[in-house]
Amino acid sequence: MKKVDIIFDCDPGHDDVVALLAAVAHPEVFNILGITTVAGNNTLDNVTNNILSVIDHLEFDIPVYKGYATPMRRDPSPAAGHGKTGLDGPVLKPPSSKPQDKHALDFLYETLISRDEPLTIVAIGPLTNIGVLLMTYPEVKEKIEKICIMGGGIYTGNVTQKSEFNLWHDPEGAKIVFRSGVPIVMSGLEVCHAGGILHTEYVKLEGRGRASQLVFELYDFFSGNMKSKGIDWSPIYDLTTILQIIDPSIFKSEMFSIDIETEGDLCRGMTVADQRPFVKKESLNVEVLMDVDREAYIGMLFDALDILDKRYQ
């Protein structure tokens, strides 16, 4: 299999970290060109420090570029569930590595424009960096193979009944991306819920090795939100984008025609799917993952962590 060159656009975030670990565990699949950060789960400074601390802790060698500290037209608003820092739970040292001097927008543009072959963007935070990129430099569209997004939902939301956090946080950025014409693979809430990890499963990671222990500590905190509601599993949202690239065969997907609602208390950021019987084939702009073999999904996570754990023995 030809390696997939990716740029990893994120707002770490417990599940963002798990997604990065799964990608780093598979160097035969991924060539990670860089990480760009964006305000979302927490402030830009905090999410950037979070990923740098994880990179130091696990001795990864990936450049990090800071992106936008605010959505295109809104005030930033931290996500519930990730704690005060955006990565509460594990006690990690403050980072000794630093972000690159270059802004994420410049990194994205320069990397894309200089390429002969298109690359994949994995976008697992609010779509501010990617929205500004496509608005400012539309010529890069042909250099993007696809954008693998965690965001949205066909039937459900999480911030509101119908709005998912990443797209709710920056609906204007999301609208630009969904209308761009660039191929999109969307890991929405349906598939992320279908792949949820049971609380009896994540506890098995405790003490297994450096990477597993980190995910145990992350989920021991992050699962608190679902536990408080009497639910016995938690989603690992962002991980879906990475596992889908590694093994699409465990997922079910459908094409939809999707636009983004930018207004409204209940529907701001909603992925509005056109389900009218006369929807035209040409308007189907998003491949939406709808379901997954849950055991295979969790198995892939455990396998990835085993691979990483062995590196530290």
Q: Which helix (H) or strand (E) holds 134?
A: helix 128-136
**Of 247, 251, 260, nearest in space to 170 by CA:** 260
Is residue 79 near ligand BDR by the rule CB under 6 A? yes
Question: How many Å apart are CA 287 and CA 146, to the nearest integer?
Answer: 10
Is residue 223 near ligand BDR by the rule CB under 6 A? no
Identity of the residue numbered 106: D
Is residue 238 near ligand BDR by the rule CB under 6 A? yes
Say if residue 131 is preceded by a cis peptide, omega within 30 of 0.
no
Q: How far is the CB of 184 from Ca ion (least distance, A)?
A: 16
Instruction: Return the number of the residue (41 or 212) whose C-beta is nearest Ca ion.
Output: 41
Query: Can you tell me whether residue 159 is helix, strand or coil?
Result: coil
Cβ-based neighbours of 110, under 8 Å, separated by 6 or more: 102
| φ, ψ for residue 271, nearest 5 deg | -85, 100
Is residue 125 near Ca ion by the rule CB under 5 A? yes
Span of 13-21, 93-101, 208-216, 284-292 interacting with ligand BDR by CB under 6 A: 13-21
Cβ-based neighbours of 238, under 8 Å, separated by 6 or more: 10, 13, 15, 16, 18, 19, 124, 150, 187
79 binds, among ligand BDR, Ca ion, none (CB under 5 to 8 A by kind): ligand BDR
Q: How far is the CB of 101 from ligand BDR (least distance, A)?
A: 26
> How many chain residues interact with ligand BDR (CB under 6 A)?
13
Span of 23-31, 47-55, 98-106, 160-168 interacting with ligand BDR by CB under 6 A: 160-168
Interface residue with ligand BDR among 7, 8, 13, 287 (CB under 6 A) is: 13
Residue nearest to ligand BDR (CB): 165
Interface residue with ligand BDR among 165, 178, 216, 219 (CB under 6 A) is: 165
Span of 112-120, 125-133, 202-210, 252-260 interacting with Ca ion by CB under 5 A: 125-133
List the x/- string, 238-267, binding to Ca ion by CB under 5 A: x-----------------------------
Interacting positions 113-152 with ligand BDR (CB under 6 A): 124, 150
Query: Can you tell me whether residue 175 is helix, strand or coil?
Result: helix
DSSP state of 283: G
What's the Cα-to-Cα distance from 76 to each of 68, 70, 71, rounded to whole Å? 10, 5, 6
Radius of gyration of the chain (CA): 18
